[in-house]
Structures are given as C-alpha cells and as structure tokens.
Amino acid sequence: MPDHLHFLCRLTDKEIRLTNAGVRGTLCEGVLDHLARFKSFTTSKSWKLGFQGKLWQKSSYDRVMDMEKPFEEVVQYVLENPMRKGLVKDWSEWPYSKIVDPWWL
C-alpha cells in the first residue's frame, strides 16, 4: 500500500530468543519484538539513503494475528488489500505483494 504495510510472519523455533526479564525470569521474545527490530533496521537504512524524519508511526497498529480467524482468510485479506483500494485488478499485479515462504501449506 502507498501509505502502510501489511505482512504476516511467524517465528521458527530457532528464531525465538530468550530474554532476561528480571524478576519475571526468562521470557521468549515474540513477533512484535522482531517487528521492532525490523522497524529500527529499516529506519536506519533509510536515513543512510538520505531520508529524514520518522519512517514508522509509533506502534500504531502493530499486533499479533487473531488466531480465531482461519489463516487462509487473513492471507487473502492481506493480499487483496490493493484490490479493495482500487490500485490493481488482481493482487499479483501489485509490485509489493508477494508470498515469500508459503509456510502455512
């Protein structure tokens, strides 16, 4: 989308890191922890390319997927978002739509 990003991801067992949570003990990092690092990384890279200012809104809509919905329904929603906005007739025409790793199959 021209003004926002939709994506789905999951952490594999080897990508889950344990962190020291002080008196709460050791906790597993979640997807939102990885998303925060992604935002930091992309902001840093954009600044090196000459972009100035904020790249991301502060945690505006970051969230973990509602597991009550069928996963395929969520994938379809994300892929068809450019179609609903009238930007393309088929999701595959949107240059930024891509299924990188079809892990749900």
Mean pLDDT for 41-51 is: 93
Does residue 84 carry a pLDDT above 80? yes
Do 13 and 43 sit in the same domain of this protein? yes
Total-model pTM = 0.63
Q: What tens digit of pLDDT does each residue of 72-82 get?
A: 888 888 899 99
Do 95 and 77 sit in the same domain of this protein? yes
Domain hosting 45: range is: 1-58
Does residue 92 carry a pLDDT above 70? yes
Do 21 and 1 sit in the same domain of this protein? yes
Phi–psi pair at 22, nearest 5 degrees: 65, -125
Alpha-carbon torsion 37, 100, 46, 77, what sign?
A: negative
In sequence order, which ranges of 49-86 are alpha helices (DSSP H)?
71-84
pLDDT score for 82: 92
Do 79 and 29 sit in the same domain of this protein? no
> Which percentage of the chain shows pLDDT scores above 90?
25
